[in-house]
Structure 1
Amino acid sequence: MTYQVLARKWRPRYFSAMVGQTHVLRALINALENNKLHHAYLFTGTRGVGKTTVARILAKSLNCEQGVTAYPCGQCLACREIDEGRFIDLIEVDAASRTKVEDTRELLENVQYAPTRGRYKVYLIDEVHMLSTHSFNALLKTLEEPPPHIKFLLATTDPQKIPATVLSRCLQFNLKRLPVELITQQLTKILTEESIPYESKALYSLAQSAEGSLRDALSLLEQAIAYGGGQLSSADVNQMLGTLDQDSVIGLINSLAAQDAPGLLNQIAQLAEYNPDFITLLGEILSLLQQIAVAQLVPGAIDVNQPHGEAILKLAGQLTPEVVQLFYQIGLLGRRDLPLAPEPRGGFEMVMLRMLAFRPDTLTLSPSKVEESSHAPPVLVATTDTSITTAATLPTPVSPLAPLTEQWNQLVHTLELKGVIKQLAFNCELKQHEGNNWELVLPPQHKLLLNQERKNKLEELLQQHYGNAQQVHIRVEIPQTVTPAEQQQRIEESRQHYVLQEINNDPFVNYLKENGDAQLDIK
């Protein structure tokens, strides 16, 4: 008996056997059941998502000897001939090989004649976007007003190349890429039916590599079965695909979470022995980081039964959301720039070390600054520990603040100050504090901040904080020490100077300056 490849053997013959695409199937089934059929349908989508399959099932539904139905019998002569590809009234055309206008005119010459055996004469034109402009013009009139016994089923992977005049005459259905979980379920079903032993991790890897195409997944599955000698193991599949086991990727993320630079470099050295594609490896790391980010915000979205589901949830608890987002951004830019690296492994190591070297600065922002920068991106800080084993913070400038000044500095950050009241308090110096009396000094350049209403409001806030009446006296003169506003400005200047210094000392930045004619844009 002649062997039939899995993609053909498992091609659905009924709408109920289709995987996914429920939004398309629902519309077609309702149209068939209510006999509200259009004369032209356009199915779009990437390769292997079921465009031609849907069109063939629709042709069978139109010509089944039991009548027009969404559930063709599959037993009558018309159904069997359509399944076998020899039904005379189903004319399948590959537009890629018949692009000339003469081919289209020849095709349309027989449109006026009634179907030979079936109820409808169906023209299934695959990759219709390959037709020439003249061919589309020749098709246009017939497509708009065909005889009642004609149905046009068009399929394409690139609807952007189809003229708007043609699109407006068709009912368009966009078939979506299939999710990894759905492809994995179908592969599991097929292997169970075929009695082929398999590992779940292997199927997950195949589904990921298929990139939403079930046909590609079946082709890869068949290749993996041959490669593994009739069975599927995770090791064989990863070796065949040229990818690494997901455990290796999780190990890299674990080292990042633990700030373990020696362990990270050791893992990269072990991976390098397999000569991996480091761009692909970065892509797998990005995919894992994306799942971790989802797990942090919506834990229920991660299926613990899927391969490495528990490991993803564990990493989601070990890393902060800010760190995950930073890792993802560094990895994304690193994947783009990796071809510029002198050597792939070295470039990959620099990307991973950059993830270790920088952290979002969430510790040195005062409450007031947190409020002001709630919509700004996090400030990145570099670690100063050469072993890169602990999270780092920026150096804070040390100033000999007087006790009263330090007391006022801490108090204004504790009070819930907003707007002009906050600006007034931040620019004042505490000159004297005895009991419930506060004597403050405001620099002359900020005297417009002061009026009676704002002074009373500051007294009210102090009363709420201490629980009893407070008296505030403010006079305008030059302060003798730094105000909270000046202290915060020094911190910000120190932060900026430190970050710029680290960026200027970064080997990758210097490489871009020297070899890529790059310049730092500091604003």
Structure 2
Amino acid sequence: MTYQALARKYRPQHFSEVVGQVNAVKPIMAALDQGRLHHAFLFTGTRGVGKTTIARLLAKAINCESGMSSEPCGNCVPCMGVEEGRFIDLIEIDAASRTRVDDTREILENVQYAPTQGRCKVYLIDEVHMLSTHSFNALLKTLEEPPEHVKFLLATTDPEKLPATILSRCLQFNLRAIDIEEIQENLKSILRQEVIDYEESSLRRLSQVARGSMRDGLSLLDQAIAFGDGKVTDEAVRQMLGMIDSHYLREIVKALSQNNIPGLVTAVQDIKSRALDYNAVLDDLLLMLHDIVLYHVAIEALQARGGDVDSISELADVISAQDAQYYYQIGLYGKRDQPLAPDPSSGFEMTLLRMVAFYPGKYQGDSKMAVSSDPNESGGKNSHSKNSTTLTTKKSARGSKSNTLTSSKIDGKAALPGNPLSDDQLISDPEVWASLVNKSDLKGITRELAMNLAPLEYKGQVLTVNIAAAMKDLHNQERQGVIEETIGSALGDSLKLNIIQETRETVRMETPAASNARHAAEEKAHAHEVLLGDPTVKQVMARFEATVVPDSVKSGKQRS
């Protein structure tokens, strides 16, 4: 017997077998059971999600000899005819090959005649958006008021090209892309029925490559069975799809965590020698980074979807969730720029170099990229965020106030291990805490939280700070941990924060945000004073009887 492709062999024959399209199947089944069936349906969605399948099931349910219902018998002449593609009252039309208005008129001329075998004549027009404008115009009247024995089922992958007059005459169902988990479960069920051995990870990979299309997933499964000599293994699927072995991906991730640029270049050369698709490799790297973030924030979800938790846990030990997110974002930019690169190899290599070279604050104050050939030099996990912060003195516009730590305040030892700040230094002068926060690598909401913390007491490596009630929603344990790690690194010692909410009895200390606002106000006032004292400004004001609007003055560097 001639072999039948899995996509055809396992095409759903009942509404209950349709995967992932409850939003369309449920109302259609209810309409069939209640006898409230519309005369025109429009099914939209990407390829392979079930548009034609649902349309054929609807044609079968309408014409079943046991009566119109959501569960056709499957044994009568109309049901078997629809399944085998030989039911005379189901007229399937490929609009892509019959776009002319003459073709449409020829079809419409036969609409008036009663069905031959079934209860209704069903016109299934696939890729209906390919019809010409004149064809749509010819179809309008019949589509609006067809004979009682006629149903129109339209399917398209591009509903935007359909005229509004067509859309308004149809019940429209948007079929969504099918979830990876749903495709995977369906592939697993089919392999069990076919009695074929498989590996769970290989089905996951096929489901991802299918990109929401069940038909694509089944076609890839057919190919994988042939490629794997009757078995579906992860190694065979990787080779078939031109994917990189996970070992190489793990080495790339470890090299990123260690700033090991020579290691990254070597990994690119290994990929080049295997003649792999760089876009596919980058996709796999992004998926691995996604799994790392998932491990940090929701390990249960990673376990539920069958991820390799053991190998991901090793990578999560050297890559934080923040770093993985940063690498992921750079990888997305790399995918966008890959078609513009001189060649795929250099484009992929540049993406990896960006991940290391442009880490926020990584190479501040150095005009040359610092390259580490020794993985141990970088210190492993979160090595970027643990770099010592250099605290320098920066004069304000007036020259009398400092917005950063001075050597007199910390005796030049704040960044040295074993020399934490004393209680007097950190509590008595708000500038010290403000300088630590301002010079840190904290970002986003975490930085906003630190900017609104006021120090109260510092004893035994525990810093007690208060926060205004209006700012308390910024606080959570994860952000507190990031602040402790970052500021502790700058101090050269461990730091623990004790955050309390401000009350009326609390002695209000100046926060870094308030300190910055005060400095900005002082600089603006000084700029206004300097402006009023300028001879040229005085001359203009005297000549034109002008005044200086205070809010229009901004501090800045004075031109010589």
User: By the TM > 0.5 criterion, same fold?
Assistant: yes
1:15-26 to 2 correspondence within 5 Å?
A: 15-26=15-26
In structure 1, the residue corresponding to 2:41 is in which secondary structure? Answer: strand
Given that 1:326 and 1:360 are in contact with CA atoms closer than 8 Å, whether structure 2 keeps it comes out as no
Given that 2:261 and 2:371 are in contact with CA atoms closer than 8 Å, whether structure 1 keeps it comes out as no
Partner of 1:163 in structure 2?
163
Query: Does 1:275 find its partner at 2:270?
Result: no
In structure 1, the residue corresponding to 2:429 is in which secondary structure? Answer: helix
Partner of 2:392 in structure 1?
397
Whole-angstrom CA distance in 2 between matches of 1:275 and 1:346: 14
Q: Match of 1:337, as an amino acid?
A: D
- Per mean C-alpha deviation after superposition, the further-off stretch among 312-321 and 232-241 is 312-321
Deviations 1:24-73 (A, max 9, x none): 11111111111111110000011111100000001101011100010111
Whole-angstrom CA distance in 2 between matches of 1:197 and 1:291: 26
In 2 relative to 1, CA 140–296 (structure 1 residues): closer, same or farther, beyond 3 Å?
A: farther
- Per mean C-alpha deviation after superposition, the further-off stretch among 401-410 and 244-253 is 401-410
List alignment gaps of at least 5 residues for structure 1.
365-380, 427-459, 473-482, 490-523
1:450-469 to 2 correspondence within 5 Å?
A: 464=506
Partner of 1:456 in structure 2?
none
1:322-337 to 2 correspondence within 5 Å?
A: 322-337=322-337
In 2 relative to 1, CA 415–165 (structure 1 residues): closer, same or farther, beyond 3 Å?
A: same
Partner of 1:68 in structure 2?
68
In structure 2, the residue corresponding to 1:114 is in which secondary structure? Answer: coil
Given that 2:177 and 2:213 are in contact with CA atoms closer than 8 Å, whether structure 1 keeps it comes out as yes
- Deviation, 1:5, is 1.3
In structure 2, the residue corresponding to 1:8 is in which secondary structure? Answer: helix
Deviations 1:205-264 (A, max 9, x none): 221211111111111111222222222222222222112234432442233234444443
Please report the TM-score for the alignment, with normalisation by the length of structure 2.
Answer: 0.68
In structure 2, the residue corresponding to 1:306 is in which secondary structure? Answer: coil
Whole-angstrom CA distance in 1 between matches of 2:307 and 2:407: 56
Query: Does 1:408 find its partner at 2:408?
Result: no
Partner of 2:92 in structure 1?
92
- Per mean C-alpha deviation after superposition, the further-off stretch among 276-285 and 173-182 is 276-285
In structure 2, the residue corresponding to 1:207 is in which secondary structure? Answer: helix
Whole-angstrom CA distance in 1 between matches of 2:276 and 2:251: 16
- Deviation, 1:294, is 4.0
Whole-angstrom CA distance in 1 between matches of 2:267 and 2:171: 53
Partner of 2:146 in structure 1?
146
The number of equivalent residue pairs is 420
1:109-508 to 2 correspondence within 5 Å?
A: 109-304=109-304, 306-312=306-312, 315-316=315-316, 318-360=318-360, 384=370, 386-387=372-373, 389-390=377-378, 391=384, 392=387, 395-398=390-393, 400-403=406-409, 407-409=428-430, 413=434, 464=506, 485=516
Q: Match of 1:81, as an amino acid?
A: G
Whole-angstrom CA distance in 2 between matches of 1:64 and 1:28: 15
- Deviation, 1:488, is 9.1
Given that 2:7 and 2:218 are in contact with CA atoms closer than 8 Å, whether structure 1 keeps it comes out as yes
Partner of 1:57 in structure 2?
57
Whole-angstrom CA distance in 1 between matches of 2:346 and 2:121: 62
Please report the TM-score for the alignment, with normalisation by the length of structure 1.
Answer: 0.72
- Per mean C-alpha deviation after superposition, the further-off stretch among 160-169 and 184-193 is 184-193
In 2 relative to 1, CA 317–123 (structure 1 residues): closer, same or farther, beyond 3 Å?
A: farther
Q: Match of 1:321, as an amino acid?
A: A
Whole-angstrom CA distance in 2 between matches of 1:230 and 1:412: 67
Given that 2:99 and 2:132 are in contact with CA atoms closer than 8 Å, whether structure 1 keeps it comes out as yes
- Deviation, 1:338, is 3.0
- Deviation, 1:308, is 2.0
Whole-angstrom CA distance in 1 between matches of 2:368 and 2:133: 58
List alignment gaps of at least 5 residues for structure 2.
379-383, 394-404, 410-423, 438-447, 456-501, 521-560
In 2 relative to 1, CA 394–415 (structure 1 residues): closer, same or farther, beyond 3 Å?
A: closer
- Deviation, 1:325, is 2.3
- Deviation, 1:328, is 1.6
